A and B are shown apart, each in its own frame.
Chain A
Amino acid sequence: MLDIIKSYFSKNNYYIIILNDKIIIKNYKSILNISDNEINIKLENIIYKIKGNNLVLKKIISNELEINGIIESVKKYDSNKSN
């Protein structure tokens, strides 16, 4: 809980909070694709690939989004390299 509060006040450009059944991402750039098993999200020059089951978008408020579902893995890719 303290981590969540701390992350809200930190000066980082973006942050990702991974919980058991949800992921909260702040300052994302765009959502590249959404499906039940995989969601790709772009943050600055990084792409995050979230894999899991029953993944659904729960909230989108300004630059913050919440994804609910069973999270299996979160992988990080450099968007320049992948391009």
Chain B
Amino acid sequence: MIQIKVINETNRFINKCIKNNINIYNIDYHKDYILVNIDENDYKTIKKLNYYSNISINKYYGINKIKTIIKKYKYDYLLLIIFLFIIYILSNVIVSIDIINESNTLNKEINIILKENNIKKYTFRKNIKELNKISDSILKNNRDILDFISIKKDGMKYIVRYEERIIKKIKEENNYCNIIAKKEGTITKIINTNGITSVIKGQNVKAGDVLITGEIKLNDEIKANTCANGIIMANTWYKVTIEYPMNKEIIEYTKNKQYNLKINNKYLFKQKYTNKKDKTIFKIKNIRFIKSNEYIIKNINYTKEEATKLAIEEAKNKLLDKIGKNNTIIDQKVLKESINNSKIELELFIDVNESIGELEYYKVGE
């Protein structure tokens, strides 16, 4: 059914319709025109019979109405569908992974294990069943380090909780031990939790000197033996040699970026930038939606002072990596410096406050 608008000769129009047995389902009378509901099939006949009237289609009903609406708003609907599709994709993509544990000691390892099991950022989120399967498999393959692991999705992120497996070291009752100095130094702090302290604060010790003994003596007679325990801090010294370049190339990102699709490692659109770093935003099988950030390579020439400062910092960091980050560097002195082939070479004397105690087991009677 359609609604037509008839202007001019409306009475003649009605009479013609009556004479020709054309069904009229409803007539709305207006000042200058009438709105008439008719069968769509009769429209051509009506137009022919009432050539003297100005007739036009005003409205469609039923399926035709839907068809005309779709035709009229096709681009709007298409945009809406694209928008909903994008929203669907975005809401199903994981943007962060939170690893929750009190000690955080295994976070790095857990991160690697999760990546191996395809629990990654910017991938489609998995359902609960899949996540349970993955957490079971991780637990099964890492029994030596994990007691429990759970992966849950919360909005656009995964929350990973785990419990580290604590292997209790059974103290061997028959083993007695001293704490000895592992290197030369001046004692600065003594924390004794078991055994008898053999040194005092400010005393210089050499490598191998007993710091806390396991022998419990009374009037120079050994009454009992134990495994000494405690922390002995001392000032120690290191001689470090380091090379640092006077010229360095650094990467600086510009504000230019390009979005692209990478299908089987081939770019869909032409790459705009030669120097660029790709970041995957999301991935569906072999198709990656990527963001390329342009960068420029800058050549920096350091002055002698700048290079020396940077070299010292690097030397300190390397030393702390070696002896442990819980130790502190008190002071440093440059013993020698020279410039060779655009590199500065430094010989440094570094003063460190570190724990120098290490266990040495012994047997009674030895």
B24 CB–A CB distance under 8 Å: yes
A74 CB–B CB distance under 8 Å: no
Q: Which of A34, A58, A60 contacts B17 (CB 8 A)?
A: A60
Q: Which of B18, B21, B27 contacts A31 (CB 8 A)?
A: B18
Known: A31-B18, A34-B11, A34-B14. A56 touches B26 (CB 8 A): no
Contact with A along B1-34 (1 / 0, CB 8 A): 0000000000100110110011111110100000
Are B29 and A60 in touch, CB under 8 angstroms?
Answer: no
Provide the residues of chain A in CB contact with B29, threshold 8 Å. 56
Contact with B along A1-42 (1 / 0, CB 8 A): 000000000000000000000000000001100100000000
Are A60 and B18 in touch, CB under 8 angstroms?
Answer: yes
Interface residues of B in 304-321 (CB under 8 A from A): none
For the complex, what is the distance from the CA of A56 to the CA of B22, rounded to whole Å? 17
Instruction: Say how far A18's CB is from chain B's closest CB, in angstroms.
Output: 20
Instruction: Say how far A41's CB is from chain B's closest CB, in angstroms.
Output: 11
For the complex, what is the distance from the CA of A38 to the CA of B345, rounded to whole Å? 118
Are B14 and A62 in touch, CB under 8 angstroms?
Answer: no
Provide the residues of chain B in CB contact with A30, threshold 8 Å. 18
Interface size on B, residues (CB 8 A): 13
Are A61 and B25 in touch, CB under 8 angstroms?
Answer: yes
Provide the residues of chain B in CB contact with A58, threshold 8 Å. 26-27
For the complex, what is the distance from the CA of A49 to the CA of B23, rounded to whole Å? 23
For the complex, what is the distance from the CA of A34 to the CA of B23, rounded to whole Å? 17
Interface size on A, residues (CB 8 A): 10
Provide the residues of chain A in CB contact with B22, threshold 8 Å. 60
Instruction: Say how far A35's CB is from chain B's closest CB, in angstroms.
Output: 9
Provide the residues of chain A in CB contact with B21, threshold 8 Å. 62
Provide the residues of chain B in CB contact with A56, threshold 8 Å. 27, 29
Instruction: Say how far A55's CB is from chain B's closest CB, in angstroms.
Output: 11
A57 CB–B CB distance under 8 Å: yes
For the complex, what is the distance from the CA of A31 to the CA of B57, rounded to whole Å? 27
For the complex, what is the distance from the CA of A56 to the CA of B18, rounded to whole Å? 14
Q: Smallest CB-CB separation from A30: which chain B residue?
A: B18
For the complex, what is the distance from the CA of A3 to the CA of B301, rounded to whole Å? 105
Interface residues of B in 10-65 (CB under 8 A from A): 11, 14-15, 17-18, 21-27, 29
Provide the residues of chain B in CB contact with A76, threshold 8 Å. none
Are B18 and A59 in touch, CB under 8 angstroms?
Answer: no
Known: A31-B18, A34-B14, A57-B14. A62 touches B23 (CB 8 A): yes
For the complex, what is the distance from the CA of A34 to the CA of B24, rounded to whole Å? 16
Provide the residues of chain B in CB contact with A31, threshold 8 Å. 15, 18
Provide the residues of chain B in CB contact with A57, threshold 8 Å. 14, 24, 27
Provide the residues of chain A in CB contact with B23, threshold 8 Å. 60-62
Contact with B along A52-83 (1 / 0, CB 8 A): 00001111111000000000000000000000
Extra inter-chain contacts (8) besides given A59-B25, A62-B21, CB under 8 Å: A34-B11, A56-B29, A57-B24, A58-B27, A59-B24, A60-B17, A60-B22, A60-B23
Query: Which chain A residues have a beta carbon within 8 Å of chain B's beta carbons?
Result: 30-31, 34, 56-62
A-B interface, 10 closest residue pairs, ranked by CB to CB distance from nearest: A60-B24, A61-B23, A56-B29, A58-B27, A31-B18, A57-B14, A60-B18, A59-B25, A57-B27, A59-B26
Provide a sorted-by-A list of 5 A–B residue pairs whose CB atoms are within 8 angstroms: A31-B15, A31-B18, A34-B14, A59-B25, A60-B24
